[in-house]
Amino acid sequence: MRAIKSCNTKIEKLLAKGLWKKGFRYRRNNKTVFGKPDFTFKSLKIAIFCDSEYFHGKDWETQKHKIKTNTEFWHKKIESNIRRDSKVNEKLINDGWKVIRFWGKEIKKNLDICIDKIEEEIKTRKEELENGKVFRNTGSD
């Protein structure tokens, strides 16, 4: 477990390079935002998470039966991660944030599509700001 990184993973680096190349500037692992998203565009209230399939329980109901060693520990750990992700999404959305989550394989195989999705959301949020829309703020910004 000690070797498992929570920041600066391969999928984060891939997405970061792609965003930087497109000219987007972001904050990484911003501790001031609830849930410490992998990338944030704070003024637009966009939070982006890069989730690995294993640790965040992609297709959990079918995949959990494939864990053969230390099953009790891993089931508890991954189910806890799933609950935490859900709470983070709920809190951020209630505070006016747009939450975007990508699976690791999605980033590896379709990086351009992921970046396009982020770019589209940035464009939408900027238009909303120009039209006078204020994202709900709870005073934590």
Every domain of the chain and the residues it spans: 10-130
Region 3-21: mean pLDDT is 85
pLDDT, one tens digit per residue, over 44-93 is 999 999 998 888 888 888 788 888 888 889 999 989 999 999 999 999 99
Region 119-134: mean pLDDT is 90
What CATH class has 10-130?
A: alpha beta
Q: Give percent of the chain above pLDDT 70.
A: 91
Alpha helices, DSSP H, located in the chain = 10-21, 53-56, 60-63, 71-94, 104-109, 111-130
Does the structure show a pLDDT above 70 at 109?
A: yes
